[in-house]
Amino acid sequence: MSYSNNMVAADNSEKLVAWTTQANNIAHQLLWLIIHVIINIFFFLLGIVDTLESHLISSGVLKKYEAINVEKLHYLAIVVDSEDVQKMKVLQLLQWLADIGVKHVCLYDTEGVLKKSKEIILEKLSFVKLFEEGDENFSDPRVMSLEFASQSDGKDALARAANLLFMKHLKLRSLGDAQEEKIFTEAHMVEALKDVGSSGPEPDLLLVYGSARCHLGFPAWRLRYTEIVHMGPLNSMKYGSLLKAIYNFTLIRQNYGQ
């Protein structure tokens, strides 16, 4: 009889554990669902506010955005997700930038889709010219200098710069120079990139159009002091949001270290 009671007690205990585990799982799933719904509602409301603010900026209701000191923005980089590239959207974006007064722009996407379309872009936009070394000081108000870049540019540049440093290392070794002179620093790498013609100007501001909140492989050595802003998908780009991003950048006080 005692054995039978023990069996019943053990069976009840197992059922209680199973029920508790199932209840905990349901509670966790319900909690996760609630958190997910709250986050979605938050971003939905944030999107409505952003759209409304963008519309007010575009329509000129918010007057402060009309007074932008665009001269503080010497070089702007636009990073676009390769899967999100739409030529008409890119052309519209460049036209907006020209209207704002931006003079130097780099267009970047990982796969080089924009670079393959540069002839079309240059043909469609009469105010655009290809960026050349020294264009940072170019100030023709009628012309925008435009650079095209992709991830392959960065990989090739690093390979050529590393090869150049390796050859310098072999030369130092053959000459028997002191060991400290064989140690390469960031300054050496920057100089090597400049020697192979891949240093490029450092953007003051980088705008990312795409789902990812990162620079998508834009050459890191050109981003030491760059402000990075995620703008959302290119398909839903807004003039007001662009104007706001540039305006906010002009208000930033940048302290450069030695």
Residues in the chain: 258
Distance CA 127, CA 134 (A): 18
Structurally, how many domains does the chain consist of?
Answer: 2
Two tokens, residue 162: 């590393």
Q: Does residue 258 lie within any of the structural domains?
A: no
Residue 231 pLDDT level (bands cut at 50, 70, 90): very high
Residue 258 pLDDT level (bands cut at 50, 70, 90): very low
Q: Give the containing element (helix H, strand E) for 209.
A: strand 205-209
Using DSSP, state whether 141 is helix, strand or coil.
Answer: coil
What is the pTM for the complete model shown?
0.72
- What are 96-137's pLDDT values in tens digits? 999 999 999 999 998 889 988 889 999 999 899 988 765 566
In this structure, are 29 and 129 located in the same domain? no
Which range of residues forms the domain containing residue 113? 70-156+183-250
C-alpha closest to that of 206 among 79, 73, 72: 79
In this structure, are 75 and 140 located in the same domain? yes
For 13-25, what is the mean pLDDT? Answer: 78
Q: Does residue 163 lie within any of the structural domains?
A: no
Q: Give the containing element (helix H, strand E) for 163.
A: helix 151-175
In this structure, are 39 and 19 located in the same domain? yes
In this structure, are 140 and 20 located in the same domain? no
In this structure, are 36 and 88 located in the same domain? no
In this structure, are 149 and 206 located in the same domain? yes
